[in-house]
Structure 1
Amino acid sequence: MLFLLQFEQDVQPLLLYAAPIIFIFVALEYWFLRHDPHHHYDADDLKASVGIGVGALVINGLLKALTVGLILFCYELVPWRIPNTWWAWVLGYLGIDFCNYLAHYIAHKQRIWWATHVTHHSSEHLNLSTSFRNSWTQHIKIIFFLPVWLSGIHPVITFMCYQIDLLYQFWLHTEVITKLPRWFEYIFVTPSHHRVHHGKNDAYLDKNFGTTFILWDRLFGTFQEETERPIYGLTKPVTSNNVVYLNFHEWRDIVRDVRKAKSWREVTGILFGPP
């Protein structure tokens, strides 16, 4: 119990500290694009993004103790320890980023995991506020990070790396930034790469899953350069800006399809087959 309290004191709430800066940049982008008929903010879309984001923040707060408890349980479970050195931070961040890549990839390949991610792709616009569209059920994917929690790296390091990796993704959701220097585009995920990921163009589907490093996509064959203007949104568009619907419509459809299934094999196909 004392370790839990100490851990919560040591971990800095980076997302909370960054919130004012995030809202300032959203406001700047909104003002900068206000007269652009092709990229300007849609009022209803913005309200939906903010509503989803606020709900996600509330859920994050409610589940924080559970998340922290799981991380500490895993850390205490293994008998080895990695020294708290600079390279532990490097290993921790690489581990978190790779697990994020893997979770992101699987979320596009299996329907039950897609239900935890589809909310993020529901907008037909791409701007900084789109980054707020984090599904209210995304915490189920915490199991993909178990290898990092069980690595023996101190929980403060892994949890801080987790927050930094999440914050990095904010600036990727914009059309204001075009291309960056070639060396940067080769190593890191950029807005250009992430525009491809949000595109529903045939050439862009299921590409660029990286969150900080695009190297994973280059290594595993899921990389796609931005070669044409992306068309955003889902291949089966949603027509509602209701935040509850945007979070749970895929779960509703899964339940409906499972009820109609005539065998366990069919149920398995519904849950773990492609979306």
Structure 2
Amino acid sequence: MRLHEIDEGLFDGVHEVVDVTHPEVTLGRHLRMPAHVLYRRASVAEPGGNLDEGVLVLLLTGPNPPAHTDPDTLAPLLRRLRPGARLLMLAGWPVADLPVHRLLDPLGAASCQVLAAVPLDRVAIRGVHAALLVQRVDTVVAPRPHLPGRTPQPDAGTAPPSVPLLRMANEYVLTDLTVRPVRRRLGELADRVADLDRQLAERDARLDEADRELRDCRARLAGHESTAGPLLGRLLLRGPRRAGAGLRRVLGRQRSPR
């Protein structure tokens, strides 16, 4: 999946994108922002302005500072988000290595919920493996399966965003993201096992056929051996010369095609 495809409603209601990635990192062009959306760069420590509803913050976190923001330093930025503000967090770790445990506490403490977590194509953005769409919420949204489309929106009928409830919701979404490659690998291995089973069944069938042919050959050989003794004895009684001629005729008939 490409970055701009993670959510059909990514820019619904968005009037400003605040890019707090490292100055040498250029990710804004991958967003395909509508023309009416204002784009500005800032720093994680000083994002500037009000991060209210209608603002989308762009962040790259990962294991390689300074290009990547350390997840342990995210808490101040997350606390500045106001209800309705969104954060598009790009992950520089391979999906299976995403440090879920380092993200859950700061997200929950700042009343932020992960609305979507999707893997990104390797060719989309070099070194970026996943995207997390986070929103500062007043109510908790029921997590949705990993399917393309519009993320669910908070509604007044859900529970208040207590830290434990947010942690469970975020853990569900992030864990599902990290185990997805394992499920895919298990599916590939299951397909491989099925293919090997098919090959083994075909090999066993060929071995059974070869065994039947071997038994037939042995049976024919036993039949030839059972008649060879008496036949040779009769030929020898005729004398060596006549026996040789008769034996050559018999062998010729046995070697000739039927």
In the superposition, the TM-score normalised over structure 2's length comes to 0.24
Larger radius of gyration: 2
Which structure is higher in RCO with an 8 Å CA cutoff and minimum separation 6? Answer: 1
Q: Which structure features the higher share of strand residues?
A: 2
